[in-house]
């Protein structure tokens, strides 16, 4: 029971975490709805929730039928989402039609069965065996197709988080298939072993489903935190450059763009402002200063992959000092800001190296030497 509660709680946690993305991005809403409906369907099977519903509705039979109709609709909705994500949109309408027929048939079989107070697998009397055969067959087939599609595409995915996430989600759907087999086994044999396995299997299924969604979307979920970390690291470099060259700050662009509302956009604009500042400050770098910076860095045995960033940090501190002293710009400034590449990721990587080097003792030592000279 504890494992089941933990699993259901994890599904609700994922639904809560994914809700902001679903509100902002329409393409994320289908996934969020699928997760939320799974969480609702699992919650409705909990004993405590069942007791609460009986106290509110007062008719256990109505609650059972509503729960089973919702589970059928939930399996159909999840299958539609998986087919849509797999590029099989033409199959969605047949799935919806079949699920509608199944729900109608379940309601008809239930109404035609002998009078019964509950629609649960151990009820005596209960609905016709055809009810359970149709109900579990549809759930099993829908979940089995979801498991196969997720595992198939998971093995072919290029990105590791997506690959692992799809395989985890497919495993969770496979456990859902096993769950329906356990239900049928208990219905046919009244096996206490099958009954005892229902709750833990449900919990493990929920954990795999929740983990699969989180892992598959980890890049998107953690992107704001990565952006905030980058801003924190670039802040000292950006502050000194914009203080020396305030005209590079895009004042209008910053209105309404805060660290919390749009960290990725703020990183992009910070990169532009730092690059514009470097482009301006290169006018205060003499050939002698540039040569001295390179000799200083090489003499200290800096690694090759940090060489350009550290040399840039050295001439930058010299340029900032020259700017503060009011020196005249160089008549022919050197091309010093070509490092970093043309891609945003490589550019950000270079500027983070530059920011770390800018605060290093090696660069501070170079700045002191240049002031004395």
Q: How many helices (H) and strands (E) does the chain have?
A: 15, 0
Q: Which two tokens stand for residue 288?
A: 């002698």
Each residue's pLDDT, cut to its tens digit, for the chain (373 residues) gives 677 788 888 888 888 877 777 677 666 677 777 788 888 888 877 777 767 776 777 778 888 888 888 889 888 888 888 888 777 888 889 999 999 999 999 999 888 887 877 777 666 677 888 888 898 889 999 989 989 988 888 787 777 777 888 888 889 888 888 988 888 887 777 778 877 888 888 888 888 888 887 776 666 556 666 777 888 888 889 999 998 888 888 764 444 444 444 667 788 888 888 988 888 888 888 888 888 888 888 888 888 888 888 888 888 998 898 888 888 787 766 666 555 556 777 888 888 889 999 888 898 888 887 776 5
Give the DSSP per-residue string, 96-121. HHHHHHHHHHHHHHHHHSPP-S--ST
Alpha carbon of 348 to those of 230, 241, 274, 319, 344: distances in Å? Answer: 8, 16, 11, 22, 6
> What are the residues whose beta carbons fall under 8 Å from the beta carbon of 371, sequence distance 6 or more?
321
CA–CA separation, 148 and 170 (whole Å): 7
Q: Is the pTM of this model over 0.85?
A: no
Domains of the chain plus CATH, in order, are 2-216 (1.20.1070), 221-372 (no CATH)
């Amino acid at each position: 029971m504890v494992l089941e509660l933990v699993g259901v709680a994890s599904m609700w946690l994922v639904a809560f975490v994914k809700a902001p993305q679903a509100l902002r991005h329409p393409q994320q809403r289908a996934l969020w709805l699928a997760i939320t409906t799974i969480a609702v369907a699992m919650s409705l099977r909990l004993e405590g929730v069942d007791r609460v519903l009986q106290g509110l509705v007062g008719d256990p039979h109505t609650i059972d039928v509503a729960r089973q109709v919702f589970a059928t609709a939930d399996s159909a909705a999840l299958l539609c989402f998986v087919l849509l994500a797999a590029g099989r949109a033409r199959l969605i309408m047949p799935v919806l039609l079949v699920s509608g027929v199944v729900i109608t048939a379940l309601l008809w079989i239930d109404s035609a069965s002998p009078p019964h107070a509950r629609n649960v697998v151990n009820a005596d009397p209960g609905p016709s065996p055809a009810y359970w055969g149709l109900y579990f067959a549809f759930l099993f087939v829908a979940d089995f197709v979801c498991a196969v599609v997720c595992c198939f595409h998971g093995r072919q995915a290029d990105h590791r988080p997506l690959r692992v996430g799809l395989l985890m989600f497919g495993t969770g759907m496979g456990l859902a298939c096993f769950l329906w087999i356990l239900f049928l086994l208990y219905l046919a044999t009244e096996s206490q072993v099958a009954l005892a396995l229902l709750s833990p299997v449900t919990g493990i299924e929920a954990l795999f489903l929740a983990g699969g969604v989180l892992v598959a979307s980890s890049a998107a979920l953690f992107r704001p935190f990565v952006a905030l970390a980058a801003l924190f690291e670039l802040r000292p470099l950006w502050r000194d450059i914009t203080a020396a060259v305030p005209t590079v700050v895009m004042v209008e662009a910053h209105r309404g763009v805060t660290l919390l509302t749009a960290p990725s956009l703020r990183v992009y604009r910070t990169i532009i402002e730092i690059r514009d500042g470097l482009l301006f400050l290169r006018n205060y770098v003499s050939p002698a200063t540039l040569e001295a910076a390179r000799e200083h860095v090489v003499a200290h045995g800096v690694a090759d992959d940090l060489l350009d960033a550290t040399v840039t940090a050295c001439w930058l501190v010299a340029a900032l000092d020259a700017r503060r002293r009011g020196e005249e710009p160089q008549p022919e400034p050197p091309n010093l800001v070509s490092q970093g590449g043309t891609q945003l990721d490589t550019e950000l990587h270079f500027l983070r190296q530059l920011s770390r080097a800018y605060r290093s003792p090696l660069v501070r030592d170079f700045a002191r030497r240049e002031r004395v000279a």
